[in-house]
Amino acid sequence: MARGKLIVFEGLDRAGKSTQCASLVSSLQARGHAVRHQRFPDRTTPIGQMINAYLTGASEQEDHVIHLLFSANRWEVASSIKADIEAGVNVVIDRYYYSGCVYSAAKDNPSLSLAWARQPEEGLPRPDVVIFLDISPEAAAQRGGYGAEKYENARMQQRVRELFKSMRELGEEKEDFVTIDGGEEQEKVAAAVEAAVLEAFGRVDQGSLPLRAVKPLQ
């Protein structure tokens, strides 16, 4: 039996990640694949509830503390993701550690660099492919405007976009990212996503590639 694949969606707020995740999950299921749909932050766990309180402004957290809570929220389900993948279930994730690094580093706290932010993520299951839905902050804002959550403002989104670019140049991330224009029509984006994901399926299955872990930066 082939192992499941780990597929991640990343991008700015309102880039279309949730829509495209749902569309990919349906199309993989229609092809007969078992699929788990996971999103981060997972607000259902006790740690996720602390993150939710922070994002909605109900509580304050020091920058490093909230960063480590977001990371812990990924670690608390990492072993169940691995188990599902070993059992042949494909896991589609809406945001992962790339968001973790860039949103924290976007605060421009001198003691919270991208490299610092990436460290607690080392050892997490490494995606087989990361679909980056690229959209300008201006186009994102036109999609109904920003909401009231912590990071939904133009300055932060601009900085996040720049840092996603830097992230795509870091270590192994370079090999994992497929950038797709998220400003295109929904069906066109979905077709590009499906093509990239099927390419990843072929690569993993033909090479019998094992699931890898996120490595430290060289």
Which residues bind to ligand DGP, rule: CB under 6 A?
Answer: 13, 40-41, 55, 67, 70, 95, 99-100, 103-104, 149, 151
Q: Which is nearer to ligand DGP, 18 or 27 (CB)?
A: 18
- Picking from 169, 175, 164, the residue whose alpha carbon sits closest to that of residue 126 is 175
Beta bridge partners of 3: none
In degrees and rounded to multiples of 5, residue 43 shows phi and psi of: -80, 0
Q: How far is it, in rounded angstroms, from Cα 15 to Cα 140?
A: 6
Of residues 6 and 204, the one with the C-beta less far from ligand DGP: 6
Q: How far is the CB of 102 from ligand DGP (least distance, A)?
A: 8
Minimum CB distance to ligand DGP smaller for 163 or for 190: 163
Query: Phi then psi for 95, rounded to 5 degrees?
Result: 75, 140
Least separation, in Å, of the C-beta of 205 and ligand DGP? 30
Q: How far is the CB of 7 from ligand DGP (least distance, A)?
A: 16
**CA-based nearest residue to 72, from 17, 104, 120, 14:** 120
Nearer to ligand DGP, 67 or 126 (CB): 67
Q: Backbone phi, then psi, for 132, in 5-degree steps?
A: -100, 110
Shortest Cβ 159–ligand DGP spacing (Å): 12
